[in-house]
Amino acid sequence: MPRTITHFETHDIRFPTSLTGDGTDAMNTDCDYSSAYVTIFTDGDDPLVGHGMTFTIGRGTDIVCQAIAALANRLVGLDPEELFRNMGKTYDYISADSQLRWIGPEKGVIHIAAGAVNNALWDMFARAQAKPLWKLVVDMTPEELVDATVFRYITDELTREDALAMLRAKESGKKEREAVVLKEGYPAYITSAGWLGYSDDKVTRLTKEAVAAGFNHFKMKVGTDLASDLRRGKLVRSIIDDPQFLPQGSEGRNPNSPELQGKNAGPTGAVLMIDANQVWDVPQAIQYVKDLAEIKPWFIEEPTAPDDILGHATIRRALKPYGIGVATGEHAHNRMVFKQLLQADAIDVCQIDSCRLAGVSEVLSVLLLAAKFGVLVCPHAGGVGLCEYVIHLSVIDYIAISGSMERNVLEYADHLHEHFLYPCSINSRGRYNIPLNPAEGYSIEMHKQSIAQYEWPNGSYWTERRSSGN
């Protein structure tokens, strides 16, 4: 007998990262990394389960959970196998309730809630096929992958036929690329050393540890004080450009190699990126980043409001003579915003977010758009669960869509991985290991103990904290 989706559970899970300064930047000074988490269940002799989440930073997570429940309720009573057959159509169905759509449409709380629900279905789909999510997708035929993608509102730049042609062109090399990435891992950069709330001593220690761990791309937060940012930038540069801190036996990388061209790499091949988290107006952004040019950043991330496509284009033009690029995307509402950023020649790096976009189906849309425009995709992963998610997306991009990872780097933040059954990991060369467990799906299942401890407001951590008066 066919299975039926019977029910779902939501959880508002908050971790007290504000106590240690993790996640702090110029705009977000008080972050409690949080997860609006959903689990979807079926009946049947061999019931299925799917886990999904969207990332928040504390207050408001309960609002997202309410939106998740409103959307997940549309799935109750449906056959999951029917949903799996055309995940692009399923995306449209989840987003199609006109009254719920009104409070978007396809943006804001309702959209990130849709991301959690869609991701939970993709997790269930992968588990049903006993494959990690990336493997499920790269094993699809071009026709199946196109059916899993959302095309509404982007066909002026990318049609189904365009996508089919792109995917078919990459089909013959998929097995070879899969073997390469399984052997080498996927290139990563680290953010954990550069949070704005860290002391210079902590930045120094963490940067040295990151260099020793094999990383050669590093990101630091900027935007509150120019003198402080210059001091911190020079501090980071003094470590990552000094051969004495490299792993034993390593000579660094050639800064003139093709994968580092245009990245302002230092003498050891190290690359520095800076992130302002939307804090500036357009003229401020241009002047401030010019004043930081001496620390040689590859790009400035989120220099201004995430919806300001033409503002990003203006900033990019102004910074181009300085060899500094522009990156954005972690707060880009949807595929339409990415389409316009690409059309306007506004970005050098496309930073998809695994759950601000409404799940894998919309991510596929943006990966295809970026590949068509020849723009690097370096996903955002600075938050709980995001690293677990985005390694799958980058591997999909490399194997099935862009066919390239030599210049790409995937964000890594060393926080809260212990709360997941299938945590991501980094190899000795500063690269992500590829998820291989056939039971892990989209890698986002959280330990029951972690949910019980950190669920807001009645998890054991939060009740004990209130009872102690902290």
Q: Which of 217, 380, 415, 419 is catalytic?
A: 380
Tell me how crowded residue 466 is: count the other CB atoms within 10 A of its CB: 11
231 vs 233: CA distance, rounded Å:
5
| Token output for 133 | 């999510």
211 vs 367: CA distance, rounded Å:
30
The backbone torsions φ and ψ at residue 410, rounded to the nearest 5 degrees and listed phi first, read -105, 130
Residue whose token pair is 């801190």: 245
Tell me whether residue 447 is one of the annotated catalytic residues.
no
Tell me whether residue 312 is one of the annotated catalytic residues.
no
Q: DSSP labels for 266-329? A: -TTS-EEEEE-TT-S-HHHHHHHHHHTGGG-EEEEES-S-TT-HHHHHHHHHHHGGGT-EEEE-
Q: Which of 131, 135, 217, 221 is catalytic?
A: 221
Residue whose token pair is 């995001």: 386
Q: Which positions ≥6 away from 201 have C-beta within 8 Å?
A: none
CB 426 within 8 A of CB 213: yes
In 79-225, alpha helices (H): 80-85, 87-94, 98-101, 108-128, 133-138, 142-147, 160-171, 174-184, 200-212
68 vs 445: CA distance, rounded Å:
17
CA-nearest of 442, 432, 398 to 129 is 442
CA-nearest of 103, 109, 108, 106 to 94 is 106
CA-nearest of 106, 45, 100, 29 to 69 is 100
CA-nearest of 380, 342, 336 to 362 is 336
107 vs 55: CA distance, rounded Å:
15
The catalytic site residues sit at: 221, 380
